[in-house]
Amino acid sequence: MKAMIAAAAAAAAMMASGAAMAGNPATDVVAMVKADGGDCLVCHAVDHKVVGPAWNDVSARYNGEIKAGKTTEAKIEDQLVEKITKGGKGNWNAVTGGMSMVPHPAKPTQAQLHDIVKLIMQLKK
């Protein structure tokens, strides 16, 4: 437990100082979520469905839309941050069985959510 707290504290210090993360989006996003106090890992994982979709699948879907010219990275980032903040339903029914994403209006912060979404989007570029 002490090692986990130390790792989270180190990741938080790195983020606060603007230092680069490990360079592996999968490892970095998990460390960032833990350091930011989010409960994302209750429903999501990088490489497999928990309750919500795997972040690899989220990245693949939305990067596919960007590559197809349907949207931009900035629009997807804003859309996903809004979905996390306000909650939602309908975009992943085949994966979630119709479960809604609960809103997360306070934690992580909006700035932290933008950083988290950017890392998620790097998973399957």
Q: Which tens digits make up the pLDDT trace of 60-115?
A: 999 999 999 999 999 999 999 999 999 999 999 999 999 999 999 888 999 999 99
Q: Which tens digits make up the pLDDT trace of 20-69?
A: 456 899 999 999 999 888 899 999 999 999 999 999 999 999 999 999 99
From the CB of residue 76, how many other CB atoms can be counted at a distance below 10 Å? 20
Contact yes or no for 46/29 (Cβ under 8 A): yes
Residue with tokens 């130390």: 6
Contact yes or no for 85/103 (Cβ under 8 A): yes
Structure tokens at 70: 């349907």
**Coil, strand or helix at 61:** helix
Q: Could you give the CA distance from residue 57 to residue 63 in angstroms, rounded to a whole number?
A: 10
DSSP 101: B
